[in-house]
Amino acid sequence: MAESSQLALFLADFHFLRPLWLLALIPALLCVFFLWRLNESASAWDRAIDKELLPYLLDSSKSVAERTPLVILLTLWTLAILALAGPVWEKIAQPVQARQDAMVIVYDQSLSMYATDYEPNRQTVSKRKIMDVLDRRVEGQTALIVYAGDAHAVTPLTEDSVTIRSLVPSINPNMMPAFGSNTIAAVQTARQLFADAGAASGTILLVTDGVERRDHAELQQMLSQSGFRLVILGVGTDAGATIPAAGGDFLRDANGQIVVARMDRASLQDLATAVDGRYADMDLTGGDLDYLLEDDGFLDEDELSAVEENFDIWFEAGPWLLVLILPLGAMAFRRGWLLTITLLLGTAGLISPSSQVQAAEWTDLWKTKDQQGADAMAQEDVAGAAALFQSPEWRGTAAYRAGDFAGAVQAYSLDPGTNPDNHYNLGNAYAMTQNFEAAISAYDIAIAMDPEHADAIHNREIVAALLEQQQNEEEQQSDDDMTSPQDQTEEQSEEEQEEGEQEEQDQEQQQEQQEEGEEGEEQEQQEQQQGEEQEQQEEQTPGEQPNQSNAETESQESLEQWLRRIDDDPGELMQRKFQFEYRRRQLESRTSPQSTDGQIW
């Protein structure tokens, strides 16, 4: 039974890495067949001597000797082609090392990023530039921090830049719980991410349109002799632009003046010089990133760190076939053989694999289902990959990326094993199916297996906050349902009575104002005009948080409807996370200091 199972595994995994080389066997068979038939063709003795006497008169051993080189030639050719095709059936773990190149992208999300001195605004253009940065990150770990009045980590240091790319489009200043531009809190958060990842050196890429000069001294103290380099990408122009607001107007300051957000290039350049960093204006050519991300000896090329997972490679058995070719090749030195084999093998060498794609029926002959699924994933056909994969881990990953979270849960649950990443992925799938308790359990298992699993710890905090909020909303809804109709009637009557009294008071006030002279009317008009201007300023402030009554009304909405929006917009999940962190910091009395006095942009 053991031998049969091993044979079944061998047949299931056996395939060729370069199967198109097998096409080179066709000219070998044609050549040998032609030479063989040529050797069998009739000679002049066949026509002159009777066929019954011919075997006794001619030497048959000579005919066999003439055919032996053809057999050896076909054998050599076949073994060489099989070796070039790359037969494999076993994987070996290959440890992977990467350069210790850690980078934290610190992204300014103050309201000034809505300024329109770039088309369509600074926010949109800077997002594209961050995407370009992520495309250049082929090695090392990357993290993303956003900040306004306070700083929040979007992702910890990770090698999964694809996840960061998926979150960048959802980032906007409206999701920030506090307005302002607190660069000090952002750099402190970046240093904490470096410490959590055990990185002794790295780069902080600050994408902003300005840093207050009074913060320079503290930032210089934080970065001096720290091992972390600060590079600044300036967003904006010297002329600046207005900040659009709701209602078709523009953002105004406390005095009612329209705000013009200008980039303070001199301040950013002075900060970069003070910390031995670099500064560049954002442009469309890519020269800004070439300058900012240039290594220039900051990183040690020989300083490598082992990656947590191993890279499995197929063990190629083709070179061992050369051992069989050597003794047969030695016979080619017999007289007359060497020239023939050299010419024929040279002809075979001219044959190169075709670049055409194999048909589906041929793919099953050379590649396993998992390999076909990997090819589909590379072509971004995640739905097709999920149908092809036989490995539960890969099928779960493909289903998750395709949005089939229930299928991802089913796949990950088959055999999570002792790999913490499998339980972490299972927790993510449970979270997207609204099963928060099961998600927390899966995260707990992953953390128990790997206490330093930063992604599992990070996501568990988010899901725990969502579960707590869900429970609070359910309790509040149950309390509202328990309110008796009589109480509601009494409250309604009290409200109507108060409204009636208010109407009477308003009428009395109107009569008094009419009895007053023209001076009273002018004073009333001025008060009304000031009230209207104040309302307009409140409506024109973008990103303003809804009042308490609106927040309570929205919190009573169905959690299922809210989660359906998360699939398309992860920004809501990040916004709730940022609000939860900000409230927790306030309760713990460690809210980050504001770098501006009353300035919300």
Residue 456 has pLDDT above 90, yes or no: no
Q: For residues 278 and 449, which has the higher predicted lDDT (pLDDT)?
A: 278
The architecture of the domain spanning 361-479 is Alpha Horseshoe (1.25)
Angle at 473 between CA 472 and CA 477, to 5 degrees: 120
- Overall size of the chain counted in residues: 601
Yes or no: say if 538 and 544 are a contact pair by the CB < 8 Å rule: yes
Residue 535 pLDDT exceeds 80? no
Cα separation, 122 vs 241, in Å, equals 10
Does the pLDDT value for residue 266 go beyond 80?
yes
> What integer pLDDT is reported at residue 526 of this predicted model?
53
From the list 469, 440, 380, 486, the residue with the least C-alpha distance to 166 is 380
542: confidence class by pLDDT, cuts 50, 70, 90: very low
The DSSP symbol for 402 reads: T
The per-residue pLDDT for range 370-404, each reduced to its tens digit, is 778 777 877 778 788 888 888 888 888 888 888 88
Architecture of the domain defined by 98-306:
3-Layer(aba) Sandwich (3.40)
Residues 574-588: tens digit of each pLDDT: 888 898 888 888 877
DSSP SS3 for 372: helix
pTM over 0.75: no
The helix or strand, by DSSP H or E, that contains position 107, with its residue range, turns out to be: strand 103-108
- Judge contact between 87 and 77, C-beta under 8 A: no
How many whole angstroms separate alpha carbon 338 and alpha carbon 344? 10
Q: Which of 163, 159, 127, 132 is nearest to 146 (CA)?
A: 127
Q: How far apart are CA 458 and CA 443, in angstroms?
A: 10
- pLDDT, position 516: 47
What is the C-alpha to C-alpha distance for residues 463 and 468, in angstroms, rounded to an integer? 9
Q: How far is CA 319 from the centre of its chain?
A: 38
Is residue 393 within 8 Å of residue 422, measured between CB atoms? Answer: yes
Mean pLDDT of the chain: 76
Q: What mean pLDDT do residues 532-548 have?
A: 48
Q: What is the pLDDT averaged over residues 96-117? A: 85
Buried b (16+ CB within 10 A) or exposed e, 127-165: bebbeebbeebeebbbbbbbbbbbbbbbbbbbeebeebe
Q: Identify whether the C-beta of residue 421 lies closer than 8 Å to the C-beta of residue 428.
A: no
- Residue 514 has which token pair? 């009419």
Q: Report whether 442 contacts 464 (CB < 8 A).
A: no
Residue type at 34 in one-letter notation: F
DSSP-assigned states of every residue in 29-96: HHHHHHHHHHHHS--HHHHHS-TTTHHHHS-HHHHHHHHHHHHHHHHHHHHHHHHHH-EEEEEEEE--
Locate 269 and state its tokens: 């350049």
Tokens of 441: 């359990």
Q: What is the DSSP string of 220-279?
A: HHHHTTSSEEEEEEE-S-SS-EE-B-GGG-B-B-TTSPBPEE---HHHHHHHHHHTT-EE
Whether residue 219 has pLDDT greater than 70: yes
> Distance from CA of residue 217 to its chain's centroid?
35
Of 402 and 340, which is predicted with more confidence? 402
Buried b vs exposed e over 57-66: b needs ≥16 C-beta within 10 Å? eeeeeeeeee
Q: Count of alpha carbons within 13 Å of 103, Cβ hemisphere only?
A: 28
Where are the chain's structural domains?
2-95+314-349, 98-306, 361-479
- 304, two tokens: 């490598």
Q: Is the distance from CB of 337 to CB of 328 less than 8 angstroms?
A: no
pLDDT score, position 355: 37
H-run or E-run covering 306: strand 304-306
Type of residue at 338: L
